[in-house]
Amino acid sequence: MVDALRHEGSPVDEWDTYWKQQKSSRSMYGKVASFYRRIIIAPSVRGTVQRYLDPQKSVLHLGCGSGEVDKLLPPDWRLTGLDFSIEALRQSRKTNDPNATSLNLVQANLFYLPFKNGHFQVVFNLGVMEHFTEHEIIDALREMVRVTTSGGRLILYWPPIWGPTVIFLHTVERLMKLLNTGHRQLHPPEINLFRSRRQCRELLRRAGLDDITFHYGPRDLFTHVIVVASRN
Q: What is the pLDDT of residues 162-220, one digit of tens each?
A: 887 766 655 655 665 666 655 556 667 889 999 999 999 999 999 999 899 999 999 88
Listed residue (63, 84, 180, 175) closest to 130, CA to CA: 63
Listed residue (104, 110, 66, 108) closest to 84, CA to CA: 108
Query: Does any domain span residue 6?
Result: no
Query: Does any domain span residue 4?
Result: no
Query: Does any domain span residue 1?
Result: no
Note the pLDDT of residue 198: 96
**Do residues 35 and 69 touch, judged by C-beta distance below 8 A?**
no
The structure's pTM equals: 0.86
Domain of residue 202: give its range.
12-231
Listed residue (46, 86, 210, 205) closest to 138, CA to CA: 205
Note the pLDDT of residue 4: 36
Note the pLDDT of residue 102: 66
Listed residue (98, 34, 43, 102) closest to 65, CA to CA: 34
Phi, psi dihedral angles at 83 (to 5 degrees): -150, 155
Question: What distances in angstroms separate CA 24 from CA 12, 221, 229, one per listed residue?
Answer: 19, 25, 36
Query: Does any domain span residue 2?
Result: no
Q: Which residues contact 93 (CB under 8 A, 6 or more apart)?
A: 67, 105
**Do residues 152 and 52 touch, judged by C-beta distance below 8 A?**
yes
Query: Does any domain span residue 3?
Result: no
Count of all residues that appear for the chain in the document: 232
Q: Tell me the CATH number at 195.
A: 3.40.50.150
Note the pLDDT of residue 8: 43
- Please identify every stretch of the chain with a pLDDT value under 50, giving residue numbers as ranges: 1-9
Query: Does any domain span residue 105?
Result: yes
Note the pLDDT of residue 189: 84
Note the pLDDT of residue 188: 78
Q: Which helix (H) or strand (E) holds 225?
A: strand 225-231
Query: Does any domain span residue 37?
Result: yes
Domain count, the chain: 1
Query: Does any domain span residue 7?
Result: no
Beta pairing partners, 125? 62, 156
Helix, strand, coil percentages for the chain (3-state, nearest 5):
40, 20, 40
